[in-house]
Structures are given as structure tokens and as C-alpha cells.
Chains A and B, each alone.
Chain A
Amino acid sequence: MPLNQSLKGKEYQEVAFRVDPGHVVRFADAIGDSNPVFRDPEAARALGYPEQIAPPTFVTVMQIMTSGQVVVDPELGLNYALVVHGEQEYEWERPVRVGETLRATPRIVDIYARGPNEFVVIEADIRDEAGNPFAASRTTLLSRGTASGAS
């Protein structure tokens, strides 16, 4: 069944989470990145950062929380079993630091069909504690075979 096009522009709830140093280490371990700046504050300071930093794609934790709201929105009509992550874009002005609280408010910026598939594009600016955006996420989800007229 086709997705609900009228949700283009819909904004979701703000999500917030504090960047825990142990979480950053677990994430760096999971992706197999051994860079000491993700584990050791001294190594991070040697590179000019005030604190331990997180790997660039640590913002995926935020992306999962923000896109997750869209995926389960009953108004949109996504069938989770048919959803594939098609594309992901991130921008960073600076790395995420341990101890800071990140906030983001996702919104659907586009819903379109191409061939038998439909696409949902979700954007979220990631803001610091002062409310200033310093990173951004753009996620394209692919809904397999749900376009109008697809068999």
C-alpha cells in the first residue's frame, strides 16, 4: 500500500541524549576503530580537543532515534519488514564530545516513488546544549514494492 504523501514536512518529537564516555568506547570497539582519541582524554587533548571525542558515525545513535520515530508512525504506513536503508548523509562542523547533550528534531522532507519502490527522506539537525546545530543527518529509507501500481 502506498505511503501517505501528506506527511511530507511533518516534524517529530525532539530527542535528546547525553554522550557517555563508555558508550563512545563501546561504539568505537564495535566498529573496530582503534583510534585513541575515542578512548583517552589525553590523546584527544594532544589533537586539540577539550575532551574525548566520538567517531564521526557515532551520530548514528541519534539517527536511529530520530528515524525510528518516523518508521513506527502509523500515519505514514511503512511496513518495517519492507524497509531498507538506502542512503545516509552526515555533515559535521566538529566532532561530538563526551559529556555533552545532543538534541535533534527529525522531519520528513520528501516522500516519492521511483519504479516499484517508495522513498522517505528524513532530515535532522544535531544541536549542542546552546541550541546551535553543528552536525546534520539526512536519511533515505526505501520501501520495497509499495508504490502505487507495483505488483
Chain B
Amino acid sequence: MAATVKFQDVNVGDELPPVSKVVKREEVKAYADASGDQNPLHQDDAFAQSVGFPGIIAHGMFSMAHVATAITDWLGDPGALKRMKVQFRAVVFMDETLVARGRIETLDAATKRARLSVWAEVDRGGQRQLVIKNSEAEVQLA
């Protein structure tokens, strides 16, 4: 139960390796079933269109989960993620590429904890859209 990232090996400003994935309809459906969030906005194109979207959107929590994966892939131990706070600021459509990113903002030598800023983005017609922004995580380093 320990991260593979060592406190002495990191610095403020270091960025996590970005993790990208293409958001597929089948995954969003699987997420609805696994999470229990069956809001039709994430499954029914006609419903999504009735509230002004071109089609279904991914769950905000689906994007949060992707950011968490980027953090725990970097850490090497999912248990080293201690806190995470995200703001959902834009929607994600099907077949968009969601990129999760993070950067070390502060380091505490006494506890070997790091505070990260984290965000997730998609490229929409050449414009970067921040799906998750003003968000942070606290991790326990080795």
C-alpha cells in the first residue's frame, strides 16, 4: 500500500503523464449501468436533443473517473489518492477525445503529500474545451 512515486523525486510544476481516451457510447451506457446513474441525458439522443444538445453527453462522473485513473496510474497505488474535488464546466459528446491532466502545485515534506491541480479537456473544432477545471487532488507519495 504505497505509491511508486517518491516524494524526493518530484518537484512543484511537474506534470502528470496525460491520459487520453475516445469516449464511446457503449462505455457511457456501461457507466450508467455500473454507477446506477440512469439519467436519459446520457442514453437517449432524442431526450438530449429536447434539452438543447446535439446528442447524448457523458456523465460528469465519467470524466472525473478518467481523471482519477490518470492520477492513480501515475501513483501506482489507487489507495494513494486521498482527496479529489472537481468542478464540471463543459459537457463531453460521444467520440470526442477526453484528455486528463494534472500538475503538482504544492508539496508537504512533513506528510509527503502533494496537492495537484487536475483538469480534463476535449478538442472541439480546434478549440480546447475544459470539461473539468479549477479542480484539485491530494495524494500520498512514498
Contacts and interface: CB of A to CB of B under 8 A. Distances in A.
Interface of A: 23, 26-27, 29-33, 35, 37-38, 47-49, 53, 55-57, 60-61, 63-65, 68, 81, 84-95, 138
Interface string B69-106: 10011000111011111111000000000000000000
Given A48-B2, A92-B82, A85 B60 contact: yes
B65 A60 contact: yes
Interface of B: 1-2, 21, 27, 30-31, 33-37, 51, 59-62, 64-66, 68-69, 72-73, 77-79, 81-88
Output the residue of A30, A53, A81, A91 with the most chain B CB within 10 A: A30
Interface of A is mostly: mixed
A85 B27 CA distance: 20
Contacts of A33: 65, 69, 72
Given A30-B27, A49-B1, A37 B78 contact: yes
A87 B86 contact: yes
Contacts of B86: 87-89
Given A29-B30, A49-B1, A89 B73 contact: no
A56 B33 contact: no
A14 B21 CA distance: 36
B77 A26 contact: no
Given A56-B72, A56-B81, A87-B88, 19 more contacts: A23-B34, A26-B34, A27-B34, A30-B27, A31-B66, A31-B69, A48-B1, A53-B79, A60-B65, A61-B34, A65-B36, A85-B88, A87-B85, A88-B61, A88-B85, A88-B86, A89-B84, A90-B84, A93-B82
Contact of A56 (B1, B60, B78): B78
Given A30-B27, A31-B31, A88-B86, A57 B79 contact: no
Contacts of B62: 30-31
Nearest to A142: B88
Nearest to A54: B78
A40 B82 CA distance: 22
Given A85-B60, A87-B87, A53 B78 contact: yes
A85 B88 CA distance: 7
B83 A91 contact: yes
Contacts of B79: 47, 49, 53, 92, 94-95
Nearest to B83: A91
